[in-house]
Structures are given as C-alpha cells and as structure tokens.
Structure 1
Amino acid sequence: MQLSPSAHTDTFCRDHLPPADDWPALRFDLPELRYPERLNCAAELLDGAIRRYGPDRPCLRTPTETWSYGDLRQHTDRIARLLTDDHGLQPGNRVLLRGPNTPWLVACWLAVVKAGGVAVTTVPLLRAGEIAPLIDLTRPAIALCDHRFTDALHTAAGDRLPVLPYGADHPDDLTVRAAAKPARFTAVDTAADDVVLLGPTSGTTGRPKATMHFHRDVLAIADTFSRHILRPQPDDLFTGTPPLGFTFGLGALAVFPLRAGAAVLLLERATPAELADAAAAHGATVLFTAPTAYKAILATGRAAALKGVRRCVSAGEHLPLSVWEEYRRTTGIRLIDGIGGTEMLHIFISAADDTIRPGATGRTVPGFHAAILDDDGHPVPDGTPGKLAVQGPTGCRYLADDRQRTAVRNGWNLTGDTYVRDSDGYFWFRARDDDMIISAGYNIAAPEVEEALLTHPDVTEAAVIGVPDPARGTIAKAYVVLRPGVNGDEAKTTELQDFVRHTIAPYKYPRAVEFVPELPRTATGKIQRHRLRAGEGGVD
C-alpha cells in the first residue's frame, strides 16, 4: 500500500491508520473512480459545480431562505479564512462539528475540508457523556457548534477544546466574525488519499469508533450510487431526514446534490407528515428517509402529496415488502432500497426503476462487488444464507481500533448482516448478526442501553434486545431485574425510560421494559440474549 505525499502537517490521521495488512481490498473498476493524486473534495464539489453551472444556481434552501452556489462559496471561504487566520487551523487538524441540518453546517463542513482539516460531524442529540469519549478518540483542535447546542459540548469538553458557536447574532459568533473576512480562499492541495473525515459510529458495544475516509472516497460515493442508481439532474431538489452527522445524510443532502449541481432543502427536524408536506410545498424531486418514515407517511394519508417526487430512497434499515408495495400503489413511485454503512461511507447495494425486484435490497452498485460468505470466509452457493461481504472504492478503516480485524477479513468488508444472493445477483436481507438494533433508521447498541440502565440505583441487572414493532420496524426492549423491595410497575417503567433519555441520546431509550426476577445466563455468567429473542418470537 503506497500512499501519496500528505498535505497534513498534523499527521495524527496518517499515524493512526490501520496496518496495511488489515485494510480491505480497494477496487477502482470504473474510469470515473480514477482520481488525480492531488484532490480536495470540497473544492471539487463546490468550485467544480460553479465552474460547470455558474454561481447563481440555487444550492441550499430552508423553509425561509435560499443560498446560491455563489453564496455558499463566499460563506465557506470566509469560514476557512477565519479558521486558519484567527484560530491557527493546520492541515490535518480535526474539527468537531455539531448541529442540525442547516446551511451553516454545510458551509462549516466545506470550510474545514477546504482548509485541509478533518471533519468529525456529530448529531445534536448526543449527550455530554457520549461526546466526551469521541473527543478523546479523535482529539479535535476546535469545535464548531450551532449556538443552540453548545451546553452538552461545553460539559463534555471542559477546558480542553475551544468551542466556536455559529448561527447567532453575537459579536463572537462564527457567522459574524467570518463576515469580515475576504470571500476567497485557495483550497489546500490535499492528497486524494488524505483523510478528510472521521465518521463516528457506536458499534455493537457502545464504545465509539471512528471510520477514516479519504477525499477520493467522498467523490466515489457520488460517482457510484448517485451517478449510476440515483441519476440526479441539475434541476433536482433534494430533501430528507438523515442528519448530516451520519454519512448517509452527508451523501444524500450535501455530496450528491453538489456533485450534480442540484439544490437541497434542509429541514432541521421533521415528522414524517411534516417531511411530506415540506417536500410537496417546495417541489422536492429526490427524497431520502428511512422505511419507517415512508410507512408513517402512508398512515397519515400524506403519500399522495409526494407523487411529484422523482426519486424516493429508503435506507438505514430493512425495507419491508408491504411498505414498498403500498407506497407503489398509493404514489406510483418505486422506492429505491439500499444498504450502506458508515464503514463503507454510503450505499453499495441497491436498484432503481425496472431493475428493482420488490423485497430484495438490490444488486451491487456499479463500482462495488459483494459476496455471501460462511463463518470460515468461504463463498456459499446462491440461495444459501451467509455473511454479507463487500469490496469497492471505499472501505473500512477504523481509527486506532482493534475491531478492524473483525470488520475486515481476507480483504472483504463484513457488514454484520446475514443475506442471501439469488441466481440473478439480487441480495435479500435475512437478519443482523450482532447486538446492533436498527430502529427507524437509527443504530442503537444494546450494550450501551444496558450500561445506561445499570447506572440507575434501582437496577441490578439489565439486558436489551431488538423486538419487532409495527411503527418503527424494530425497537429496543429492556429486561430489567430490580433491587429487592422495588416495584416494577408502570411508573418505574416511565422513570427508567426518562432516565435513559437523559443519560444517552434520547432515540436510544428502551420503548418497552419488562421486569423479570432474573436473566437467563450461561454457566459462565454470560447473558443468553438468544433466549430472550426466542421468547419474543425471534429465531434462536
């Protein structure tokens, strides 16, 4: 493995890449994936779009304002100048970003990348106790945070991390200070294989991991899934619900529209009904959200308003066939299903239009290869369940984490999913292989919820599993053993749920709680979650 000369003066990321022997095999089969050795993806996305389409095209919209591509470049370049001139940002420094989906978050991300920094974007729902270990892991030089979400960040960071708020009318605010800077910034001449982002992911243990992705990786997701499956047009308007702090949202609501010269409607937070209404009101043509949101849109009767949407993408969890069929009957639209992951950066199996086979996730996206393997890493015959393994232009590279060796084997990225491939090359989801619960598109690590419950003084034991739910697909259910003398009633259930909401991100709380006298364990004391799953109608 030969890397290009790095532009990073802060060599933290290069120094903490996994050993070469633990890397996945990378494949650049398509001509469009053969990028130049020197590449800054922010300059290519933003300045490249302006070269092709001009500065006056609408770019970022909200329900109340619109930024053109020229506006976005001015804000981006001014922020980059502020970071380098006033805060001494050096190429390779990590910058923590925190905030909901707004134009300013996009501008901050692009500015960090243009300046040669490494973006670490987090969702605003994280609590201080979840942010602190991420800071320890990634060691950012500065944090840029929406002014409404600074409290938890200050609690997590203490005095070890400068926090620069944005979005307020205050003299110390980033937006005010950047306005005084020149509106031109020359992007740092980074290498195509310089690390550009650290994508946080909790993993099945709840201990944070960060996936390391290069400048070329950011363009690769646009030049594979977006180019070949989504096929956006410059006059498209994207919208959706995935946070920009998830790589799913970064691609869907920033990288893909910018690469195509299109516009995006950014919504800070929207219920499924609000999402449908906003998409209809603003004329959105490309929609990204989770299967549970599509199901909720159908339940509210709002689906008919989306008949003008050209592309509807479902990802983040398994798309039930019943939802696909009802959505097609109601709107005439064939939902585009897909599986991706933070480790691979975005979607690598999908299908669109007449190539869709209802119920299947799809086929490998051009540029990627997938196989079904047995426990020993050998391919299994078509029709046989096994572990989904993927190769392509992107791949799993954990930041200084020994879990790299289990995520990548023999050059294959293992997704943690059981799939079946049919004789036509379509992949059919069967189950998750681990303790990750995927609920309404959010990843919830069962052990993390258990640890939160065990900090409550009335809880002596806890085990959490995923159980089917008609609204959210899957929910976290907790089996709890209380200390003697404490009643496991409805009030205690509510108390424990509220306790978890305030301990970790609120979407992780157990939506069902069952009090039990003891948990099933092996002779060595290990909790037998398979017995709990079997009791819920799961497969042992």
Structure 2
Amino acid sequence: MASTAHLDTFARDRLPPPEQWPELLFNEDTQYPPRMNCALELVERHVREGRGARVAIRYEQDGARHAVTYAELAALSNRIAHVLTGDMKLVPGNRVLLRGPNNLMMAASWLAVVKAGLIAVPTMPLLRAKELKQVIDRAQVGAALCDARLRDELDANLAPGGAQHCPGLAQVRYFNGSGADALEAAIAGKPDAYAACDTAADDICLIAFTSGTTGQPKGTVHFHRDVIAMCDLFPRHVLKPGPDDIFCGTPPLAFTFGLGGMLCFPLRAGASTVLAERLTPESLLALIQSWRATIVFTAPTFYRQMAALAPGYDIASLKKSVSAGEALPDATRQSWKAATGIEMTDGIGGTEMMHIFISSAGADVRPGAIGKVVPGYVARIVDEAMQPVPPGTVGRLAVRGPTGCRYLDDPRQAAYVKDGWNLPGDTFMADADGYYFYQARSDDMIVSAGYNIAGPEVESALMRHAAVAECGVVGMADAERGQVVAAYVVLRPGVPAGEDTRAALQAYVKAEIAPYKYPRRVIFVDALPRTETGKLQRFRLRQMAEQQAAADGGAGQP
C-alpha cells in the first residue's frame, strides 16, 4: 500500500488481514499512478482539459429545468469541501455519513467528501434511526451531510438519552433546507477553488454498506482507484458511453449500482446525468422523453412495468438499457425488447466488487445468459473444494479483478474470499463459449426430494403466465420432501386469487419446465418485500415460508 494521506487511520486499521484479501488483477485499463484522487479524475480533469462548459448534471426543480456544467460542479463541490475541512475541521480519513435522494447536492457532497480525503459513508434514504445507528457505530462516523427532508431519522441519532443516540456523531449539516445548520448557508462565500487532498490510489474513499437482502448489512471498503476502475471496465467495454450520452435511472447514489450508473460512469465519460427523486415507471418514461435520455439504469421490476407503458411515450432517444440488482427474467427481457426494440444489457455485480463484472450487450447477448466476463476480470465456476468444474456444470461463481471484497472489521470476510477468489454467493453455469448462466443465489437453491431446484428458474416460468404481475420463489420446509417449492405471487388486477388460479399456475409451470420443479405451494400476496433499490428480499420470503410451514405442521400441498 502507498503512503497514506489519512491522518485518521480508523478504517485503514480495520481492513481485513492481508491473507484474507482477494488477489487483485490489473491490466492496461487499470494501471493507475500511486497517487490519485477520484473526484479530480471525475470532474476537474474535464475542466483542466477544456471541457468545463459541458453539462455534467441535469435536474428539474419546481417545474424549472437546470443544467450544471463541469466547472460549476467543481466549484460547488469545492465550496462544500471548504466547509468540511475548514468550518467542521475534519481531517483526511474521517468518515462522513451522506443521506439524501438522487439530487445535485447529494452528488456534490459525495464528490466534496472524497476530494477532501475523507471517507464517504452513503446511506439509503429510507433507513430508519435504528439502522442508521448500526452504520454510524460500525464506521465510527463523526459527521454527516443530510438532505433536510430526511433529517428526522438522523436527528434521532443526535438526541442525548435516546435509544438510538450516537455520541460520536458530533456535526451535521443539512442541505436543501434553510436555517443556521443549512449547508447552503455554510458554503455561501466560500472560494470556488480547493486544494484537493493528495490521496494515495489505495486510500479509502468509500464505505458502502450492503443493501440488506440478508438483513445484516456489511461495510465494504473501497479505494480511490476502485471508483475509477469500475468506470474503466464495464462502461468502457460493454456499455461504451460517449460524451453526448444522457444517463438516467432509479438506483440511489447510496447504492454502488447507482453511484456508478447515475454519477461516476457519466462523469468519467464526460457525459451528463439526469438526477431525479422518487421515480415511478411512468415518471421514468416521462423523464426519458423530456430530457431525451440515451441510457437508463433500473431494476427488472421497473422494466417489466415500463414495457407495458412504453408505447404511450416518445422514448426514441433511448439507445441502451442496463438491468442489475436481481435476476432478469427472460419474459421481462423479451417484453422490453418488443416494446422498445432495445436488447437489454443484463449484468451481475455486487457491493463487494463495486459494480458489474459479468455482462454482454447488443449482438453479444445470448438467450438465457447474463453474458461474458467483463474484460479486466476473470471468473470460473468451482465446486465446494474450489476446483474448477467442466463447462455445463452448475457450481459456485468465483471472481477476481482490480476490485474485490474488503469488509470493515467483519468476520464474514473469511467466507466471501477463499484462495484469493471472491465468492459472491451465486450459483452459475458457464458454457464452452464463456457465457455465464445465472441459476440462483447459493442459499436460494431448493433441495426437494433429492432434486436441486433454482428458485429464479421457477420465477421465470411463472412470470410468463399472463395472470402473474410478479413473484418470488423460495423453499418451504416439508416433512416428506425436506423442502417444497413455494411461490409468493402478486396477481395482475382482476385475476381472482382462488384455487382455480393456483391450479392453473401449477399446471403452467409443469408444462414450461421439468414437472418436479413446479410450486407445490402457491401463496397469493398483495406485494413482495423489496429493498429500497427494488431487490427482492428473499430472506423475508424465507421467514414467511418458515412461519407458514410451522403453521401447517410441515405439510406441503400434493
């Protein structure tokens, strides 16, 4: 590791021991100098090279449209950096909690934090005080920048004597508000120029907490070079954006999928991004139409709903669509393509790996496959002994590249990294041509009467039925079979949730895939449990299945 610029070495001191790190691989795309600051690479580089007048961020507020240039974004983030290190007297290595939806001040605050050599700890807007306390305590956060509209839950962490009080959280500034503690008031009159911290490429700039599909978030530690590496691999080789592209989408900046797609990818390319809060499928289509966006990032749930609505909007400007965050059902891919003519770019990544490492686009898409390994990464399918398996064999996905898992002081590091390989927890199959086919999360494999059944395969079959709006499939305990396949189904409006519909869905799945995979339990629900990023929370479905099995005495339907 290079000589650190951090005076506060809390996070650096709590990196995993070297023997638990993944092996890191670098190529011509990811050879970086020993010292770099990713905020300068993303914004100031364009100003320095004469592109300061180009638009970086677009947004709408109070009915008016706004465009912020690279030069203006640099100046805004510089003024915030002056507040952080001048008024708040933070020093390199201090952790700063960021809390806000996708808007200009949230983006500028992230850039300011890393520019100042501090460590950004972004949090999802919907987190409650108890969840914020977990993050604050684990990362030993001493300061926060928060959207004023989200202050209530954070304020609970500031209240002395309260159940969620975090005594270490000493300073907070609120943006998009007013009053003595408003960030806008603090930056007024601050210089537009700022001498960025001379950080090492391997200085920590981000602690990203996992989005909580397991219910137990983990802090993943990333370096300045990791941020730039995620911009120089998947976007460069698969997405291939240009400076005239306009990005848009739904993933929050607090989620690495959103940090890349909504901010870092467009900035690295000298392009622009449209930041918007609280999007719906309808308003996202309207945004694409209004801003003439060319690239969209969102989850399969949105694409499924947008496909039915797309004919009502002029989205001819849209050229590329990226799906990630959860398995993409083929039915959703095909309905989106039929509605828009766009071949979906599917991808698998993860908070631990920073962003997407397997994906294909356009003519390289193969039916049923997520894609090939993104150049700069290597992957293989391994058995329980970490030995490679032949093509066509189902096993565990193992990945290496310039980014990798480094949990903040967490014993689960030893389970994620083995023999220098990252194990994201996914079951895959690879063919002889190097295409990777997702089967399930490793803990989503259902073993029923000796058969291995991948929940997402059953979901994909159910999704092809006209009555199904969305569904989630998990294993349910069963005295006779060990487990049975249980499907939690949200029906389309007007479809009756009765025994006839249940039987019809079961018969349909039997005809679509191997009959032993059909859902012996079909439970109709009004909605599925999802994270703020739209990812299905299977652990909650498993909890529901456990409760149902206990109530039934472990007896599945025949």
C-alpha deviation, 1:206, in angstroms: 2.2
Distance in 2, Cα, partners of 1:36 & 1:94: 24
Counterparts of residues 154-303 of structure 1 (less than 5 Å)? 154-159=155-160, 160=167, 161=169, 162-201=171-210, 205-302=214-311
Partner letter of residue 404 of structure 2?
A: G
**Conserved in 2, the CA contact under 8 Å of 1:324 and 1:358?**
no
| Partners of 2:285 and 2:310 within 8 A in 1 | no
Indicate the residue corresponding to 1:28 in structure 2. 26
The equivalent residue for 2:2 is 4
Matched, 1:124 2:125: yes
Instruction: Tell me what 1:133 maps to.
Output: 134
Counterpart secondary structure, 1:156: coil
1:351-400 deviation per Cα after TM superposition (whole angstroms, max 9, x unaligned): 11211112210000010001101111111111010011110000000000
Match in the other structure for 1:70: 71
Change in Cα spacing, 1:203 to 1:173, as seen in structure 2 (3 Å) is closer
String of CA shifts for 1:135-187, please: whole Å, max 9, x gaps.
Answer: 11001120100000011012134352122111113343001211221111011
Instruction: Call closer, same or farther: CA 1:506–1:220 in 2, change over 3 Å.
Output: closer
Partner of 2:354: 345
Residue of structure 1 equivalent to 2:11: 13
1:415 aligned residue (417, 421, 424): 424
Report if aligned partners of 2:99, 2:146 keep a CA contact under 8 Å in 1: yes
Conserved 8 A contact 2:310-2:340: no
Partner secondary structure for residue 191 of structure 2 = coil
Q: Which amino acid aligns with 1:197?
A: L
Aligned to 1:383: 392
Select which of 22, 33, 37 maps to 2:34: 37
Give the AA of the match of 1:98: R
Residues 221 and 406 in structure 2, CA contact (< 8 A), matched pair in contact too? yes
1:147 aligns with 148
Query: Any idea what SS the aligned residue of 2:443 has?
Result: coil
1:400 to 409, 428, 433: 409
Output the CA distance in 2 between the equivalents of 1:417 and 1:99: 31
Structure 1 residue 470: Cα displacement: 6.1
State the Cα deviation string for residues 308-349 of structure 1 (Å, max 9, x = none).
Answer: 211110111111112212222221111100000000000000
Secondary structure at the residue paired with 2:425? Answer: strand
SS in 1 for 2:46: helix
Give the superposition deviation at 1:510: 6.1
| In 2, Cα distance between equivalents of 1:16 and 1:536 | 50
CA distance in 2, matches of 1:105, 1:150: 14
Q: 2:550 aligns with which of 499, 509, 518?
A: 518
SS at match of 1:251: helix
Question: Residues 303 and 331 of structure 1 are in contact (CA less than 8 Å); yes or no, is this contact kept in structure 2?
Answer: no
Whole-angstrom CA distance in 1 between matches of 2:142 and 2:2:
24
Kept in 2: contact 1:236–1:285 (CA 8 A): yes
| Alpha carbons 2:73, 2:108 under 8 Å: kept | yes
Task: Provide closer, same or farther for how the CA distance between residues 180 and 284 of structure 1 changes in structure 2, counting only shifts above 3 A.
Answer: same
CA distance in 2, matches of 1:80, 1:467: 50
The answer on whether the counterparts of 1:118 and 1:195 sit within 8 Å (CA) in structure 2 is yes
Cα offsets for 1:260-316 (capped at 9, x unmatched): 111100111111111011111110001000111111001234476333211110111
CA contact (8 A) 1:209 1:401 kept: yes
Determine if contact 1:78/1:181 at 8 Å carries over to the other structure: yes
Identity %: 47
Task: Return the alpha-carbon distance in structure 1 between the equivalents of residues 111 and 146 of structure 2.
Answer: 15
Q: Structure 2 CA distance, aligned partners of 1:125 and 1:372?
A: 36
Aligned to 1:482: none
- Partner in structure 1 of residue 45 of structure 2: 48
Measured at CA, do residues 284 and 469 of structure 1 come closer, stay the same or move farther in structure 2, by a change above 3 Å?
farther
Q: Which amino acid aligns with 2:6?
A: H
Per the alignment, residue 442 of structure 2 pairs with 433
- Indicate conservation of the 8 Å contact 1:193/1:215, yes or no: yes
**8-17 vs 42-51, greater mean Cα deviation:** 42-51
CA pair 184-363 structure 1, distance change in 2 beyond 3 A: same
Letter in 2 for 1:16: R
* Cα distance, 1:88 vs structure 2: 0.7
Change in CA separation of 1:520 and 1:376 when aligned onto 2, cut-off 3 Å: farther
326-335 vs 369-378, which deviates more?
Answer: 326-335
Please give the per-residue CA displacement for 1:182-213, whole angstroms capped at 9, x wherever unaligned.
11101100000011100101556523210000
**AA paired with 2:323?**
S
CA distance in 2 between partners of 1:350 and 1:362 (Å) = 4
Is the partner of 1:402 in helix, strand or coil?
coil
User: Could you tell me how far 1:35 is from its partner in structure 2?
Assistant: 0.1
Root-mean-square deviation (CA, aligned residues, Å) is 3.1
Is contact 1:194-1:215 (8 Å) kept? yes
- Report SS of the residue matched to 1:110: helix
Which amino acid in the other structure matches residue 77 of structure 1?
N
CA distance in 1, matches of 2:4, 2:433: 43
Q: What do the CA deviations read for 1:197-233 (whole angstroms, capped 9, x no partner)?
A: 0010155652321000000000001100011111111
Indicate the SS of the match to 2:120. strand
Give, in whole Å, the separation in 2 of the partners of 1:507 and 1:94: 30
How far apart are residue 236 of structure 1 and its match? 0.7
| CA distance 1:275–1:154, shift in 2 (3 Å) | same
Residues 115 and 196 of structure 2 are in contact (CA less than 8 Å); yes or no, is this contact kept in structure 1? yes
Q: Structure 2 CA distance, aligned partners of 1:517 and 1:259?
A: 50
Distance 2:425 2:536 in 1: 22
Query: Whole-Å Cα distance in 2 between the matches of residues 34 and 205 of structure 1?
Result: 35
Assess if the C-alpha contact under 8 Å between 1:75 and 1:107 holds in 2. Answer: yes
CA 1:466–1:335 in structure 2 vs 1: closer, same or farther (change >3 Å)? farther
Of the three residues 330, 333, 347, the one matched with 1:321 is: 330
Instruction: Quickly say closer, same or farther: Cα 1:517–1:114, change in 2 above 3 A.
Output: closer
The residue type paired with residue 91 of structure 1 is P
Q: Aligned letter for 1:186?
A: A
Partner Cα separation in structure 1 for residue 398 and residue 391 of structure 2: 14
Letter in 1 for 2:363: D
Structure 1 residues 202 and 313: alpha-carbon distance in aligned structure 2, compared to 1, 3 A threshold: closer
Secondary structure class of the residue paired with 2:233: helix
Query: Does the 8 Å CA contact 1:304/1:331 hold for their aligned counterparts?
Result: no
Moved more, 43-52 or 372-381: 43-52
1:472-517, CA deviations, whole angstroms, 9 ceiling, x for partnerless residues? 9xxxxxxxxxxxxxxxxxxxx99xx9xx99xxx9996968968748
Q: Does 1:104 align with 2:83?
A: no
Q: What is the CA deviation profile of residues 407-434 of structure 1, one whole-angstrom value per residue up to 9, with x for unaligned ones?
A: 0001110011110000100000111112
**CA distance 1:101–1:517, change in 2 (3 Å):** closer
